């Protein structure tokens, strides 16, 4: 079964081919340099860039693999959550391609696809606890199977990735700040600054990072006037020790907060022996290392994709679409794009059971 995956939920235009659960090839056009001029993603510009890139990327991917539309069995598309204009470009392209080729159309939950991405590289065993940490979302899920996710906790305001991005902007780090902040944190002293572990003194599995962002802003505002560094900062070599310490302390505060709630979820669901870590922030080396240590202490297993599959990509969409199709799922041409802030409807159609003689 050959499945084409289409990802356009934010600022990455990506397509990939998965055949029988194996990633064949992928193409991607990043808009990071353009949005860096504004310090963040501009939705209208993002959707226009998706429109510009989608067709040429499709042609490149199919030609490179000697495929035509007639060879496709499934067209899977990220239908939400995300930026509505960006999602609409991908969904419209997927609908047209499915209609023209006769391929099955499958709309994929972008968040679930992140958590399933590790299945392209290693075995996923269900049930499992899923920790999704991205720029727009921080969720804990009980993963019963590839198409069965139960939400245990979510962010109430800023997601962890958003907290990283906003703090990076306050620090004057070049956009996107995540990779540089990770590098700076490795050379700093996390104990030098006492940032809070937000929203942990309760019994819930929800997250809140807005207060941590405020604490970072207050610390930076309180620095002496002569404590300066180049802005935007593009290289770790130019960072003073105080900035390295700030990155280390801030990163550790986020990581510890995530793992406190994760440990609480594991305590409440003792049958879960596997933690699936996913999303853009899952590429953070400190989070990966400490999550692995958490599961080692508990006698469990950490499953995390390689960094290239942590950020938005079409391989995860194609793989999720392949899994849903294998289970008999599909959508028709009434499939809608669902922006961030709206729940995705449970509108997956299922093939009727086959009659046996």
Q: CA-CA distances (angstroms) from residue 11 to 8, 22, 33, 186?
A: 7, 25, 11, 28
DSSP state of 147: T
Question: Which stretches of the chain score pLDDT less than 50?
Answer: 354-357
295, 302 contact by CB (below 8 A):
yes
Which CATH superfamily is 2-117+310-350 part of?
A: ATPase, nucleotide binding domain (3.30.420.40)
CA-CA distances (angstroms) from residue 92 to 73, 77, 180, 321, 346?
A: 18, 10, 36, 17, 20
Q: Does domain 127-304 have CATH number 3.30.420.40?
A: yes
Residues 6 or more apart in contact with residue 267 via CB below 8 angstroms: none
Structure token digits, residue 40: 């963040």
What per-residue confidence (pLDDT) applies to 135?
84
CA distance 322 to 318: 6
pLDDT of residue 136: 86
Would you say 135 and 159 are in contact if contact means Cβ atoms under 8 Å apart?
Answer: yes
Three-state SS at 146:
coil
Which phi and psi (to 5°) does residue 42 adopt?
-100, 110
Bridge-based pairing state of the strands 128-133 and 74-80: unpaired
Predicted confidence at residue 226, as pLDDT, reads 87
Where exactly does CATH 3.30.420.40 map onto the chain?
2-117+310-350, 127-304
């Amino acid at each position: 079964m050959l499945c084409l995956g289409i990802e356009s939920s934010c600022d990455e235009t990506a397509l990939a081919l998965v055949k029988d659960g194996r990633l064949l090839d992928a193409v991607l056009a990043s808009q990071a340099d353009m949005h860096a001029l504004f310090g963040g993603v501009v939705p209208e510009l993002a959707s226009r860039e998706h429109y510009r890139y989608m067709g040429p990327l499709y042609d490149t991917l199919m030609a490179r693999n000697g495929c035509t539309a007639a060879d496709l069995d499934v067209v899977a598309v990220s239908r939400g959550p995300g930026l509505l204009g960006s999602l609409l470009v991908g969904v419209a392209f997927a609908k047209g391609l499915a209609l023209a080729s006769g391929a099955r159309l499958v709309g994929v939950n972008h968040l679930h696809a992140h958590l399933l991405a590790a299945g392209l590289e290693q075995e996923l065993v269900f049930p499992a606890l899923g920790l999704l940490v991205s720029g727009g979302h921080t969720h804990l899920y009980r993963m019963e199977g590839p198409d069965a996710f139960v939400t245990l906790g979510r962010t109430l305001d800023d997601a962890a990735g958003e907290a990283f991005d906003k703090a990076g902007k306050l620090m004057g780090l070049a956009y996107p700040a995540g990779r540089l902040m990770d590098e700076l944190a490795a050379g700093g002293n996390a104990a030098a600054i006492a940032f809070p572990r937000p929203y942990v003194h309760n019994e819930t599995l929800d997250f809140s990072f807005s207060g941590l962002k405020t604490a970072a802003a207050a610390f930076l505002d309180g620095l002496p006037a002569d404590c300066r560094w180049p802005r935007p900062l593009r290289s770790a070599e130019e960072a003073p020790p105080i900035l390295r310490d700030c990155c280390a302390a801030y990163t550790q505060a986020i990581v510890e907060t995530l793992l406190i709630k994760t440990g609480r979820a594991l305590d409440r669901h003792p049958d879960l022996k596997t933690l699936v870590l996913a999303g853009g922030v899952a590429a953070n080396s400190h989070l990966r290392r400490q999550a692995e240590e958490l599961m080692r202490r508990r006698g469990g297993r950490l499953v995390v994709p390689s960094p290239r599959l942590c950020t938005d990509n079409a391989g995860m969409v194609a793989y999720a679409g392949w899994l849903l199709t294998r289970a008999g799922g599909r959508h028709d041409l009434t499939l809608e794009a669902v922006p961030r802030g709206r729940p995705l409807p449970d509108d997956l159609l299922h093939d009727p059971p086959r009659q046996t003689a």
